[in-house]
Amino acid sequence: MNWITRERPKIDRLACPWLIKRFIDPEADIIYVPEDRVIQQAQALKAIPFDVPNVEYTHYEDRCTFDYFLQKHALTDPALQAMAPIVRGADTDDHALAAQAAGLWAISAGLSFNIQDDQQLLAQGMVIYDALYSWARHLQTVKHTQSPTERLLLEVLHTFLNRGDKRKSPAWVHELKELIQDQIDTNLTLSLTELSENLAINPAYVSRTFARYFDDLSFGEYIRKLRIEKALQLLDTTTYSLTEIAYLTGFSDQSHFTRIFKKQTGQNPSEYRKKRVKGKADTKG
């Protein structure tokens, strides 16, 4: 089937052809012509026009043409749904819709500037949207780099664990360990007294009323909850060992971490990770 739109594509007129060829009409021919010839050529070539005014496949209110394709063809793939606000944000200059929208616009604008042939531009656009789809389907929670703070803490941990001698550590080593512990995971080992002093509120009052405003949890319970939430994120997005995760989330050792994790989630961290890995493998399959 022939599909036709305006020449010199940037966002919608690359995203929509990708969507058509990958999910709607694999044998589609995409035709680009000057804007004032789209309707005339659509009739002559028996092509479906899109992303031009007064046709079915176009913008509606704050939604772009990509959104309409998803709705019209009932494409409910979660990865496509995740891509929609990125494409919409880039196409409508509303970059607040998705963190990736500004980047997609920058890449697309640069691509259009560098490549003058619209079919060559489409070929490169197919590569970009294939990549964006793979990210949306498989890689949304994957970090590009390890946190520098996490890396430093793990270096300290492994130096300590791999130390061959049992010589008594000097006092400054113990002080350093306590300082590092205080900074683990964005200060999750906060002191209620110190916080109260910063707020200029009596610590006893803060302690007594804390649960009213923090999920009906005591201060200690709330901190443990934050630690477990951080542990879940690390289990989902890194390959750290359980010992490393216990360290990075402020637990004294792996057994303590495992006990609290199971109490909070109903399963051991190792069981949780295995299920997540299996689920991702099933999704890819």
Q: What does residue 48 show for φ and ψ, rounded to 5 degrees? A: -90, 120
Only one residue has tokens 């050792």, namely: 253
Q: Return d(Cα 25, Cα 245) in angstroms, integer.
A: 46
Q: Return d(Cα 249, Cα 174) in angstroms, integer.
A: 19
Q: What does residue 147 show for φ and ψ, rounded to 5 degrees? A: -55, 130
Please provide the CATH number assigned to the domain covering 148-284. 1.10.10.60
Range of lowest pLDDT (89-103, 138-152, 203-217): 138-152
Domain regions of the chain by residue span: 2-139, 148-284
The tokens for 157 are 């941990």
- pLDDT tens, 10-38? 999 999 999 999 999 999 999 999 999 99
Q: How confident is the model at residue 109 (pLDDT cuts 50, 70, 90)?
A: very high
pTM here? 0.56
Q: What is the mean pLDDT of residues 190-201?
A: 68
> CB atoms < 10 A from the CB of 238, how many?
17
Range of lowest pLDDT (39-43, 68-72, 188-192): 188-192
Residue 198 has pLDDT above 80, yes or no: no
- pLDDT tens, 223-271? 788 889 889 988 988 888 998 898 888 776 788 889 889 988 999 999 9
Residue scoring higher pLDDT (14 or 222): 14
SS3 assignment, position 2: strand
Q: How confident is the model at residue 130 (pLDDT cuts 50, 70, 90)?
A: very high
Residue type, 261: F
Q: What percent of the chain has pLDDT over 70?
A: 78
Residue scoring higher pLDDT (169 or 102): 102
SS3 assignment, position 4: strand
